[in-house]
Amino acid sequence: MKKTLLLSAFAAAGMAAGAASAGTLDDVKARGKLNCGTNTGLVGFAAPDANGEWQGFDVALCRAIAAAVLDDPNAIEFVSTTGKTRFTALASGEIDVLVRNTTWTFSRDADLKFEFTGVNYYDGQGFMVPKDLGVSSAKELDGATVCIQTGTTTELNLADFFRANNISYEPVPIETNAEGQQQYLAGACDVYTTDASGLAATRATFEDPDAHVLLPEIISKEPLGPLVRHGDNEWGDVVRWTLNALISAEELGITSANLASLVEAADPSTPEINRILGTEGTLGEMIGLDPDWAARAIAVGGNYGEIFAKNIGEETPIGLARGLNAQWTDGGLLYSPPFR
Amino acid sequence: MSDHISFVRTEQLPELPPPAREQGVVKWMRENLFAGPVNSALTVVSIFVIFQLVTGVWPWFANSVWNTDSLSECRQVLDGRTGACFSVLTERWNQLLFGFKYPSSEYWRPALAFLLLLPAAAPVMFFDLPRKLLAFTAIYPFLAFHLIWGGTVLIPIFAMAGFVGAYLVFSGLVSRSFLWASVGAVVAALVIWRVGGMLTGMIGPDNPTLVSVPSRDMGGFMLNMILGVVCVSLSLPLGIVLALGRQSDMPIIKIICVVFIEFIRGVPLITLLFVANVVLAYFLPPGTTFDLILRVIIMITLFASAYIAEVIRGGLAALPRGQYEAADSLGLDYPQAMRLIILPQALKISIPGIVNVAVGLFKDTTLVSVISMFDIVGMIRGPILASTAWNGVYWELFLFAAVLFFIVCYGISQYSQWLERRLATDHR
């Protein structure tokens, strides 16, 4: 009796697993909600506001996907994941897409069986020093004490950088970013190093941000992007092209302000805009969505540039410059394949 | 002899006050603070340190800001002075207490559940109170569940009906056979829950009076309280059973209990929590996730019960052999001997240890922040410190959490001291 129960439980599990792999896109549509894996809280990228509404740069991409698929930017179940639980949450099917400052690396792509569907933020490891130190380049940091989070890739990158430049340093190991801020402010170390976006956010919280400078050197590549499970290419396409639609929208000048008029006008002289907005061609049909899927995604928070400016841009307390995250036409790395 | 009149005092002299240095504050200070050169020196140093501490901390409290919307605004108001930005508490107190997803219109429900906890726990904790109050204690778990989670009222009603049915079957059959009574009780409960589940599905209202709040939306100090109260109250009976099982003469039961206790004690709690959160998700079919809070409650309860079992085993071992023999010679069977003679004494000895475990367990509930549940520490470390408005506030938030935990833990410890005094029957 017990054995049959167990067997049938396994059979049910197998069937359910089979049903799940039938297509995340169909699952999401049937459920009416997108399960989006996000951070437990990262300044500017994902954090709930005083009303409990999730806000941030990563969150905006989740909302755009939900709007494209379900026509409702709020039809999302945000699943907070830590650095340790994020990959199991995605692999087990608890979440449909993970947008959580996750660096695209070879082993995560190949070994963990995930598919990175693009890059929404190009980050890299940087240095912050007090202005009084009078240092203008990381190469002048010979003999400096450096606050560094233990057990991270930043630790390895740091060692590589100093060895390559043949200068010495003394590491001050810290456990968390919060501890790092305190140690750095207390003068326990001359330099604080972590991802450049994190440094900028940290600096913004200081009582006197102008007394600290970020050095120009970026010593590692940290392309952060959304990822989905291996083997569900239809769903991967939806996530990839939603991100590309936001990037292309900025390149082509589609903003949340002129979106409605562009849809209405459907000017024949701008065919790519029309194809993105679904007034021409059948791109939506090809990825299993309505013709106006991209228009809905852009309508939520505007194009990539608008989302950037609102959440982490120079007008915000975090104050990140576009840098590598500018359009390729402006000297950045953002380059969306054509909508054709 | 008549010319020699000796002086005879007819009434007693009024008592003179003791010398100034032998009374009141002066005496106390001389004896306790300035008894000798070393003592005096230490006193002076201590007073100096305390003075430094108070004057150092005082401006932080005195200049505190309570009504700004962000850390930068708060710093503007402070304008360079030292001061606390307690405005993070006034803006985010609800998130610290209830988590950021619990609907704010429903805050009264967990608050009411907390208030009702006091009368529900009182008859258990203070056994001088009339025993009839225990009826409310029995209802309370279902009432609290309904208040906090909401949804249709049928679920707690059927859950309660299952226990009542099990009790009736048990008490009806127990005179014939303890074993069959136990089996019958379990069967009765399962039948009632099964039928109740189907009925709830059929006749349950679509829009219950209390809006249903999923477990995912629980958070803040409320989550710590839920986990702490539920796990302590479940792990105590389980720990007693395990302790008795470990002392049992029946080899299989003994082995099971020993293996369980030693396994749980050999594994860190955080590992068990990761198992509950991450590993179980691999074994369950996708989509059939069973409630995360329930998983965590099971894990913490198992963990605490293993420790409580060892504490109680210490109590059992401390009882003189004569107590067991006395019970046997009175003709009491095993349950009677345990219930009437052994456990009351063993538990009394174990009180400090049990309270120690309970306090530790309550504080351990903050570990759930590591598996991305938003208890009070999770709220502080995650959403609040990650908001652009409040990134950089540490002391104020963690001080608030520490105060809440201190109140609860100090209360538990005071209660245990009262309990020890109340139960003291020896003549020391």
Same domain, yes or no: B295 and B169: no
Domain CATH number, residue B393? 1.10.3720.10
A175 pLDDT higher than 80: no
Q: What is the pLDDT of residue A14?
A: 40
Q: Which pLDDT belongs to residue A9? A: 43
Strands A191-195 and A144-149: parallel
Alpha-carbon distances, residue A251 vs A257, A306, A336 (angstroms): 15, 12, 9
Residue B54 pLDDT level (bands cut at 50, 70, 90): very high
Query: B249-253, B259-263, B338-342, B383-387 — which is least confidently predicted?
Result: B383-387
pLDDT band at B246 (very low <50, low <70, confident <90, very high): very high
CB A241 within 8 A of CB A265: no
For chain B, the residues whose C-beta falls within 8 A of a C-beta of chain A are 71-72, 75, 91-92, 95, 100-101, 216, 274, 277-278, 281-282, 284-289, 370-372, 374, 378, 381-389, 391-392, 394
Which residues of chain A are within 8 Å of residue B281 when distances are taken between CB atoms?
88-89, 92, 94
Contact B386 A207 (CB under 8 A): no
pLDDT of residue A246: 96
pLDDT for residue A20 is more than 50 = no
Class of domain A125-220: alpha beta
Asked whether residue B157 falls in the same domain as residue B276, the answer is: no
Cβ A40–B282 below 8 Å, yes or no?
A: no
Residue of A nearest to B378 (CA): A40
Sign of CA dihedral B422, B426, B427, B428: negative
- ipTM, two decimals: 0.75
Range of the domain at B281: 87-102+213-423
pLDDT tens-place string over residues A58-114: 999 999 999 999 999 999 999 888 777 788 889 888 899 999 888 898 888 998 899
Burial status of residue B176 (CB atoms within 10 A of its CB: 0-12, 13-18, 19 or more): exposed
- Is B79 part of any domain? no
Boundary residue ending a domain (B164, B182, B209): B209
Helix/strand/coil for B410: helix
Q: Do A89 and B281 touch (CB under 8 A)?
A: yes
In angstroms, the separation between the Cα of residue B46 and the nearest Cα of chain A is 27
Are β-strands A97-98 and A34-39 bridged in parallel, bridged antiparallel, or unpaired? parallel
- Interchain proximity A13–B289, CB inside 8 Å: no
Region B263-290: what's the mean pLDDT?
A: 80
Pairwise CA distance, residues A281 & A301, whole Å? 24
Domain ranges of chain A: 23-122+224-330, 125-220
Residue A230 to residues A66, A99, A114, B407, B428, Cα–Cα distance (Å): 20, 15, 5, 50, 72
pTM comes to 0.82
Q: Distance between CA atoms of B204 and B158, rounded to whole angstroms? A: 12
The answer to whether position B289 is within a domain reads yes
Instruction: Provide φ and ψ at A123, rounded to 5°.
Output: -110, 175
Query: Which among B181, B209, B237 is the end of a domain?
Result: B209
A interface residues, B as partner, C-beta within 8 Å: 12-17, 20, 39-44, 46-50, 52, 77, 79-82, 84-85, 88-89, 92-94, 178, 181-182, 201-202, 204-207, 316-318
Chain B: closest CA distance from residue A84 (Å): 8
A246, A60 Cβ separation under 8 angstroms: no
Domain A23-122+224-330: top CATH class? alpha beta
Domains A23-122+224-330 and A125-220 alike in fold: yes
Q: What is the DSSP string of B66-117?
A: -S-SSHHHHHHHHTTS---BTHHHHHHHHHHHH-SSS-GGGTHHHHHHHHHH
**In chain A, where does DSSP find H-type helix?**
2-21, 24-31, 57-70, 86-91, 106-110, 153-164, 177-185, 196-204, 233-252, 259-265, 271-277, 283-286, 293-301, 304-311
Q: How many domains does chain B have?
A: 3
Residue B395 pLDDT exceeds 80: yes
